[in-house]
Amino acid sequence: MASKRCPSCRLVNPGSAQTCDCGYSFATGTSPELGEDGVREVTPRQSVRQVAMVCLIAGIAVLVVGGFVAMAAHDMFYKQVGGGLAIMGVLLMGLARGLFRVT
């Protein structure tokens, strides 16, 4: 049997599937997560989790860059800049941790 591609999330499903993992119903052609205008509705909890994920990724990136700057610097100014970046990275990861606890 031929496979089906979900129009909502683009996941390839077996031909015998009645619904996709995202909730799209092949029988009715509707998704419980889509609003009347066909746009996926995002709950406040999902929004907070997305912000938390961005903060976590940004925090890790800033921490790593700050660590490299501080280790590679020969001038005291750049060591302080690297240290400041590392501290900002840790603070961003702390913010992400707090946001994940909320949700």
The rounded distance, in Å, linking the Cα atoms of 14 and 43 is 29
For residue 77, what pLDDT is reported? 93
The distance of Cα 86 from the centroid of its chain, to the nearest Å, equals 22
For residue 101, what pLDDT is reported? 87
Which of 22, 60, 49 is closest to 8 using CA atoms? 22
- Overall number of domains in the chain: 2
Q: Are residues 31 and 50 part of one domain? A: no
Provide the domain limits for residue 18: 1-41
Q: Are residues 67 and 35 part of one domain? A: no
Q: Are residues 98 and 48 part of one domain? A: yes
For residue 32, what pLDDT is reported? 67
Q: Are residues 56 and 98 part of one domain? A: yes
Q: Are residues 55 and 34 part of one domain? A: no
Q: Are residues 37 and 6 part of one domain? A: yes
What string of pLDDT tens digits covers the 103 residues of the chain? Answer: 688 888 877 888 888 888 887 778 888 887 765 566 666 667 778 788 889 999 999 999 999 999 999 999 999 999 999 999 999 999 999 999 998 888 6
Q: Are residues 97 and 53 part of one domain? A: yes
Q: Are residues 94 and 50 part of one domain? A: yes
Q: Are residues 48 and 29 part of one domain? A: no
For residue 81, what pLDDT is reported? 94
pTM for the full model?
A: 0.60
For residue 72, what pLDDT is reported? 92
DSSP string computed for 6-28: -TTT--EE-TT-SB-TTS-BTTT
For residue 84, what pLDDT is reported? 94
Burial code (b: 16+ CB inside 10 Å, e: under 16) for 58-87 equals bbeebbeebeebbeeeeeeeeeeebeebbe
